[in-house]
Amino acid sequence: MKTLPEKYYLSHFFELLRFIKTTSWHLLTPAQQQQLAQVQGLTEPALCLLVRIVNRKSRFVQWSQLNYDEIPDRDAALAELKAQQLVSSAASSPLTDLLPELNKAQLQAICVSANVAAMPAASAKKQLWYQCALDHSDAIDTDQHELCQAYLHSDFRALFEYGLFLYFGHLGGTLAQFAMRDLGMLKTMAGSSAPSLNAHFDQLDEAQSGYYYIQQLRLLKQWGEAAKQQAAEELLSEASVIPVGSYASDKFDLLSYKLGVQLFEQDQAQGLALLALSGHASAQEKRIRLLYQQGELSTCQQLLNAILDDGSDEHLVFFAQDFLRLKFSAQRTSMLTDMLRNAAPAIALDEAFVGSPEQGVIDHYQRQGVTAIHGENQIWRALFCLTFWPQLYLDDKSQLSNEFSLLPKTIKDNTFYATFSAEIEARLAQLQTPAAFKAWLVQQVAQHYGKPNGFMFWHDDLLQDLALLVDHAPSQALTNHLRLMSQQYLSVKDGYPDLIGVKDGQLFAQEIKAPGDSLRRNQWIRIQQLSQAGFAISIQPVVWQLDPQQPYVIVDVETTGGHKDYDRITEIAMVKVVAGKVVDTFTSLVNPLRHIPQRITALTGISNQMVADAPEFTQLAQGVDEFSQGAIFVAHNVNFDMGMVKSEFARCGLDYRRAKLCTVVLARKWLPGYDSYSLANICSARGINLQGHHRALNDALATAELFIEINNLRHADSAD
């Protein structure tokens, strides 16, 4: 296991400094540059202590907690920091700043020191003690109070956090990410394809403005009503801080939107003014809905028509079209509802697929000889990423700021097509045949497999899945949609249909909708876009009814014990049931590669000698997978059997997933009234032959007979 050197955090701090000095020095004010130079002049022990202080989550740090072996004379280090005015005690700050970071006992001590006459009960919640301390904070002499002297804070913290913002391009980045990288816990873009260092911002006012508004958004979660009111007045005043650059403008719009929604109930005029101030799409939609509720119909129509005239935001355009349709015409159903109503006839699926109807439809198609795979967002993002990998990750014009950046700046700021239009069009022109397209994808996967990126997850079936899409999709449709993705990736990256399939040589894509599912706006938009590009897209509903041709595999395993993490399978049996009949069986002893306890042998009759020459599970995994392919996994107490099988597959480095049903649960519902639903008792009560109990095939055959009986009841109920 990797370990970090003693002063790992110091090397990470220097790495942060190198980035700032190399790429972002112009994004610091003269005062910030001066303070950073001052910090670099510290002795190493003082610098170690400073980084330890500012790298903590809490703004205030207890001196007693700052004990580190690599800082032998911490008193001298602290004295140096205080002399440089980089660290001071909490006594120099308002007590109200310290209170939120104190625990209940410390808050009680503050209240006692303030001689509060009516204190909360000792058992009262911390929040009551916090409020009491806050109400009486003026009575505390912070210069003399022991608790205030025990805490430290650093004025360098503000610049340190700003430096992290400049490095990561957002709030929330920490030096801990450097440590996770060094420990191998976090993959980055390091290596031969590591990006050159680039600043996230071009100008000082752009960076400072972005930092100001992202901080305001973070603070919004902590603000009370008075603080929100003050922030609203500042945003609406003529003297408000005007956002500079796209990043700050986005955060300004989001802040105005959130504040407007939160303050509307208290002051409708102010809330609407904030929503009007915001350029956020959700703010525009919310404003129109509120104006409609207030009867401002003419204003609503004007705003809706303005959205349609602009046409730059497809989600807003959809909203405007649908709202005009519902509120200003004779139509009484939304476009989403109409699309669902016009869907294909429903496919009947067993209730075992509740939670995974897509897999149920895939299995249904497989029984009909139709190939279908999970599509959704991943396959389209992967296609985009691999098609344009050289532009996304190998060209400095993409401006990956550092090795932690997974999305290029050209994607984040929607300039990818503008920057690489010639390269994109040349690539699309080269990929007009399935053979050429697949050759390019194979080349990219071979060169870059496993590399971190901000678009997709690598997996073994990736090329096979992409080949299905490329082989059967109209080439012009692929070109059209890839061009659209390159032009506006962030707004086109999700909402894709659940399945991609091929029937009679033709590609189709389907959005699967179970009972109660609704169609989301982004799904409607993506269906329209893909249809316009030339793809065959449809909505496929499902209903929870039994399909007579649905295969079930009734499974029983015997094991060395009851814990899936370290016990192993000693015998496995599977019984395939279709249309109420047993059509096939699979059974084998399994060498568990560990000792079978005597108590287990006494229960099952399976001894260490019996399994000594049996195949290991790794030799059986393919057979188990193929036998149960397309079937619902059924067992008596299914979570145990499924858990053991999944664990064995995991030890082989494989994933095993099946829809599942439990005959214990089914028997309680369909065969009520028994005191015990153990396999032996329920079989005895129902007259089911169970001989040689606790041998896998015997138990599986008995469970299959029980399941067929229950399924007959389920079929009869479904028919009614």
Whether the Cβ atoms of residue 521 and residue 448 lie closer than 8 Å to each other: no
Distances (CA, A) of 117 to 122, 123, 132: 14, 17, 11
Q: Which residue has the tokens 């496919």?
A: 347
Whether the Cβ atoms of residue 590 and residue 623 lie closer than 8 Å to each other: no
Angle 167-168-173 from CA coordinates, rounded to 5°: 110
Among 451, 483, 515, identify where a domain stops.
483
Reported as type and span, the H/E element at residue 317 is: helix 314-327
Whether the Cβ atoms of residue 606 and residue 596 lie closer than 8 Å to each other: yes
Whether the Cβ atoms of residue 710 and residue 666 lie closer than 8 Å to each other: yes
Q: Are residues 702 and 560 in the same domain?
A: yes
Amino acid identity for residue 237 in this structure: S
- Grouping H, G, I as helix, E, B as strand and the rest as coil, residue 555 is strand
What is the number of residues in the chain?
A: 720
Which residues does residue 328 pair with via DSSP β-bridges, in sequence order?
Answer: none
Residue 429 in any domain: the answer is: yes
Which pLDDT score, from 0 to 100, does residue 195 have? 58
Residue 188 in any domain: the answer is: no
Which residues does residue 555 pair with via DSSP β-bridges, in sequence order?
Answer: 574
User: Three-state SS string across 272-295, please?
Assistant: HHHHHHCCCHHHHHHHHHHHHHCC
Model pTM score: 0.86
Q: Are residues 352 and 395 in the same domain?
A: no
Which pLDDT score, from 0 to 100, does residue 715 have? 84
Q: Which residues of the chain have pLDDT under 50?
A: 192
Residue 225 in any domain: the answer is: yes
Among 452, 483, 514, identify where a domain stops.
483
Angstrom distance (rounded) from CA 544 to CA 119: 60
Q: Are residues 611 and 710 in the same domain?
A: yes
Q: Half-sphere exposure of residue 1, counting CA atoms within 13 Å on the CB side? A: 3
The conformation of residue 121, written as its DSSP 8-state character, comes to P
| CATH number for 559 | 3.30.420.10
Residue 407: give the domain boundaries.
Answer: 382-483
Angstrom distance (rounded) from CA 622 to CA 627: 8
Q: Are residues 621 and 653 in the same domain?
A: yes
Reported as type and span, the H/E element at residue 371 is: strand 371-374
Q: Are residues 518 and 562 in the same domain?
A: no
Q: Are residues 665 and 621 in the same domain?
A: yes
Q: What is the torsional sign of CA 189, 193, 194, 200?
A: negative
- Grouping H, G, I as helix, E, B as strand and the rest as coil, residue 114 is coil
User: Three-state SS string across 41-59, please?
Assistant: CCCHHHHHHHHHHHCCCCC
Q: Which residue has the tokens 């008193």?
A: 75
Angstrom distance (rounded) from CA 660 to CA 100: 49
Q: Half-sphere exposure of residue 546, counting CA atoms within 13 Å on the CB side? A: 18
Neighbours of 633 (CB within 10 A): 23
Structure tokens at 663: 């005959």
Residue 192 in any domain: the answer is: no
Residue 83 in any domain: the answer is: yes
Whether the Cβ atoms of residue 400 and residue 190 lie closer than 8 Å to each other: no
- List, as one string, the DSSP characters of 613-678: TSPBHHHHHHHHHHHTTTSEEEETTHHHHHHHHHHHHHHTT------EEEHHHHHHHHS---S--S
Structure tokens at 407: 């999305």
Q: Are residues 165 and 33 in the same domain?
A: yes
Question: CA nearest 213: which of 241, 172, 239?
Answer: 241
Among 458, 483, 508, identify where a domain stops.
483
Angle 372-376-377 from CA coordinates, rounded to 5°: 140
Residue 187 in any domain: the answer is: no
Structure tokens at 654: 């494989």
Whether the Cβ atoms of residue 514 and residue 393 lie closer than 8 Å to each other: no
Q: Are residues 683 and 560 in the same domain?
A: yes
Q: Are residues 449 and 476 in the same domain?
A: yes
Residue 191 in any domain: the answer is: no
- List, as one string, the DSSP characters of 587-615: EEE-B-SSPPPHHHHHHH---HHHHTTSP
Residue 194 in any domain: the answer is: no
Q: Are residues 86 and 160 in the same domain?
A: yes
Which pLDDT score, from 0 to 100, does residue 644 have? 96
Which pLDDT score, from 0 to 100, does residue 101 have? 87
Q: Are residues 305 and 398 in the same domain?
A: no
Q: Which residue has the tokens 């809706």?
A: 304
Number of structural domains in the chain: 5
Q: Are residues 320 and 432 in the same domain?
A: no
46-59: string of b/e by CB count within 10 Å (b at 16+)? bbbbbbbbbbeeeb
| CATH number for 367 | 3.40.1350.10
